[in-house]
């Protein structure tokens, strides 16, 4: 997964899905506010409504909860909610409009991390196929912001990618014991 910062206008963002934040008590701004279905959007934490404004093609309006309760951890969860919506439209490229917060850097990193963590697949050890094509993987996350949070976006990318690496399979009956001389010993429990 690659993550990057963009300063493009919302109508110029070219992603499969654009996540637009909405705090509790706020309403979607124009041009999204007049898009059919946007009136169903809520600022309730973890709520989401997908609308089709035309440019961009698809937008998910994601509820952030109360502004005073919004933290980086909540941003991580919002990243996962947006990734779930991306899977629903079978997309690979996700963009986030950075919410207007006092400290945008940690929030930008957390949005990227949340989307990356949510994209982890737990089917590495499954055998066979259910006959269904594999869903698309998350390839890019774009943070659309009017401030420079590029360093934090790179940090979010590194953390998200590191958290998504599968551990190598270990031989049966062996566990890693780095504190024991010899490291790995068969039969240690």
**Span 15-64, pLDDT tens digits:** 999 999 999 999 888 888 888 988 899 999 999 999 999 888 999 999 99
pTM here is 0.82
Q: Do the domain assignments include residue 173?
A: no
What is the span of the domain harbouring residue 73? 2-120+135-166
The pLDDT tens digits for 127-184 are: 555 666 666 789 999 999 999 999 999 999 999 988 876 555 555 555 555 555 555 5
Q: Do the domain assignments include residue 129?
A: no
What is the count of structural domains for the chain?
1
Which stretch of DSSP H or E encloses residue 115?
helix 104-118
**C-beta of residue 114 within 8 angstroms of C-beta of residue 159:** no
Q: Do the domain assignments include residue 128?
A: no
Q: Token match 């698309």: residue?
A: 136
Q: Do the domain assignments include residue 188?
A: no
Q: Do the domain assignments include residue 38?
A: yes
Q: Do the domain assignments include residue 83?
A: yes
Residue 179 CB neighbour total at 10 angstroms: 6
Q: Do the domain assignments include residue 103?
A: yes
Instruction: Output the domain CATH number for residue 88.
Output: 3.40.220.10
Q: Do the domain assignments include residue 46?
A: yes
| Interacting residues of 98 by C-beta distance below 8 A, sequence separation 6+ | 21, 104, 107, 108, 111, 143, 144, 145, 146, 147, 149
Q: Kindly state the average pLDDT of the residues 119-123.
A: 76
């Amino acid at each position: 997964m690659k993550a990057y910062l963009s300063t493009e206008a919302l109508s110029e963002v070219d992603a499969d899905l654009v996540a637009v934040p909405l705090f509790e008590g706020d309403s979607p701004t124009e041009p999204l506010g007049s898009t059919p279905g946007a009136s169903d959007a809520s600022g309730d934490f973890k709520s989401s409504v997908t609308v089709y404004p035309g440019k961009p093609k698809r937008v998910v309006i994601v509820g952030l909860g109360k502004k005073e309760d919004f933290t980086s951890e909540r941003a991580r969860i919002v990243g996962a909610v947006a990734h779930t919506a991306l899977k629903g439209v079978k997309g690979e490229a996700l963009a986030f409009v950075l919410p207007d917060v006092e400290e945008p850097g940690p929030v930008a990193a957390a949005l990227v991390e949340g989307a990356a963590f949510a994209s982890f697949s737990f089917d590495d050890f499954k055998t066979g196929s259910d006959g269904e094509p594999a869903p698309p993987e998350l390839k890019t996350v774009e943070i659309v912001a009017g401030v420079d949070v590029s360093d934090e976006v790179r940090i979010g990318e590194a953390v998200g990618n590191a958290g998504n690496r599968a551990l190598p399979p270990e031989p049966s009956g062996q566990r890693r014991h780095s504190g024991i001389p010899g490291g790995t010993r068969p039969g240690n429990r």
